[in-house]
Amino acid sequence: MKKVLFLTLMISSFLFGKNIKTVEVLKRLEDSNWVLVDTRDTNEYNGWNLSNLKKNGHIVGAKDFSYKWLDKKYLSTKNKEILKERIAGKGITLEKNIILYGTDVDNIEKVSNYFKSQGLENVFKYNLNENLDYEKLPFNSYENYEMLVPASWLKEKLDKKEVKVYEASWGSIKDAVVYLAGHIPGAPHINTDSVEPPPAWMINSDENLIKFAEEMGISKDDNIVLYGDDVMASYRLAIILKYLGVKDVRVLNGGLDAWKNAGYKTEMGVTKPTPIKEFGSKVPLKKSLIVNEAETKEILKDDKKSKVLVDIRSYNERIGKESGYSYWDKKGRIPGSVWGKSGTISVTLEDYRNVDNTMRNGYEILTMWKKLGIDKNKELTFFCGSGWRAAEVLFYSEVMGMKKNSLYSDGWIGWSTNSNNKIETGKEE
């Protein structure tokens, strides 16, 4: 053990402060004393080729820490703590040798300086553009990374009129202050009340959902990109459109912020949708994506244990300390469900996002699930209070390549509305 530590220190002292080469990276891919960290745009880690490389995605085994997370707007006190926790969770520790890689010298240096400010001194740099033999390294991507799009891709597709874009948020257009102040050019506003009407805010009937799509000018054959200032709303709408059977539904990774940060223009005022006469089907084409209460009970009865009901709510909601909603007073959890974490309160999802509201590293999500006893190979049905948080997590699971997962859209509120349904409270063993 002492010999290994001595050799590690010798290597570190020899390489410290130097830009390392591909051959050195190759030697350390399987070395547990070394950690590879991708400093690029999160979308590049996911699989998008935004730097004209000959390979897309990330180096196999690499962690991610995007330079974009260090923008001042994201460094609130809370986010600083999240970044510290994530660094440790990625196995980036004082005794490890850290290889920061990317395609831009300044961005790599930005992350390097931050790591050093956190006491991480064994930091080395690897620039893909300066080492053209990077092709020798193994790369990987999420199976369905294209479901989450970067702003540059959306801009290109909009210029070519190859996609339709919509901004989603709760409230009527007159209350949509952010939308009116500046939205992506050509994007109509979708009020989420259209798909989950008050006062219950449960998912609308199939007939009304198809009518909503027609009013918004959305057909089953369209290519749709959704976004929002609050990204959660866009995922809620995305799952509903996928449920209806829209051919291609994607979400702008990071929402409106991602568009603005890329330097693209927004427009003020209202963009009205152009209604169509026929959606293309009278019924939803992917019914299995959203399950009702009766189907949820069947999942809980599954003798083969091949299906799992996953609770995407805060810990305080899970144990019954709070309902999570100002308009709902019933507290507790669905017996037989498994906790999948979410965030600190009902409107946040820190456990599944980066500080810039992009999707968190998928491997970290899977590791978190494993610790919670959630098997990725089973059919997972996600629920939360009324479908928003769970829809986002379901979408992420599909980005990672899972194909049989679903959403219990009515969630805890729907379940606890029925007085005949059992509930549990208190801490779990």
Query: Which residues are catalytically annotated?
Result: 384
Q: Which amino acid is at 366?
A: L
Counting every residue, how long is the chain?
429
Q: 422 and 297 in contact (C-beta within 8 Å)? A: no
Q: 386 and 408 in contact (C-beta within 8 Å)? A: no
Task: With CA atoms as reference, report the closest residue to 227 among 273, 272, 160, 179.
Answer: 179
41 token code pair: 């745009």
